[in-house]
Amino acid sequence: MTAKVLALVGSLRAGSHNRQLAEAARSHAPSDVEIEIFDGLGDLPFYNEDVDTEAEVPTAATRLREAAGAADAFLLFAPEYNGTIPAVLKNAIDWLSRPFGAGALSGKPTAVVGTAFGQYGGVWAQDETRKSAGIAGAAIVDEVKLSIPGSMTRFAETHPADDPEVVEQLTTALDKLKANLPA
């Protein structure tokens, strides 16, 4: 059986190193793990319970929820914006947390990784992402920690998929995420 992992990237920038990291994860995933990188987080309106009704759910939110519903697990890529989680990633978690107690994240293994310009690689943002996703019902895989510092220089000329150390760390993270899937 192939495990389906939905990757959500918290950076919308065309040259995003976190997007590149997600691409590297997809390229180097084990043969029995399929990673889908969700495109469209930038299309999501800010979460508003007034428009989250059966009659009015925005198309972008429906697309996200359907993709999340089909996933066995989640891999969240969290850069650090001003010391915390990017709004676009937090907004996606908010949409996936509903309906309360039965959102698409509920009970599914979820790992958080990322890269950032700073010397700690986005640790604060990743911790906040774990916290938010966990409160939303995700089964956080705490043993997966991958914070790659100095993204602007480290990946200036090398794609993460071509960095042996990064590939090894991503492979380990994916193995740990896979080990948390129900048998």
The letter for the amino acid at 163 is: D
Per the structure, the complete domain to which residue 130 belongs is given by 3-179
Both tokens of 31, joined, read: 């043969």
Which pLDDT score is estimated for 24?
Answer: 97
We report the CATH number of the domain holding residue 41 as: 3.40.50.360
Which pLDDT score is estimated for 118?
Answer: 87
Residue showing tokens 């947390």: 97
Which pLDDT score is estimated for 45?
Answer: 97
Q: At what angle do helices 123-135 and 87-96 cross, to 10 degrees?
A: 10
Q: How many domains does the chain have?
A: 1
Distances (CA, A) of 115 to 14, 23, 128: 15, 13, 14
Distances (CA, A) of 87 to 27, 37, 70, 170: 27, 18, 24, 24
Q: Report the chain (183 residues): mean pLDDT per 10 consecutive residues.
A: 95 95 96 96 96 93 97 97 95 95 94 93 96 97 94 92 96 96 83
Under DSSP, is residue 71 helix (H, G, I), strand (E, B) or coil? Answer: coil
Find all residues with CB under 8 Å of 159, minimum gap 6, and list them.
20, 23, 24
pTM: 0.96
Distances (CA, A) of 56 to 64, 104, 165: 15, 18, 46
Which pLDDT score is estimated for 50?
Answer: 95
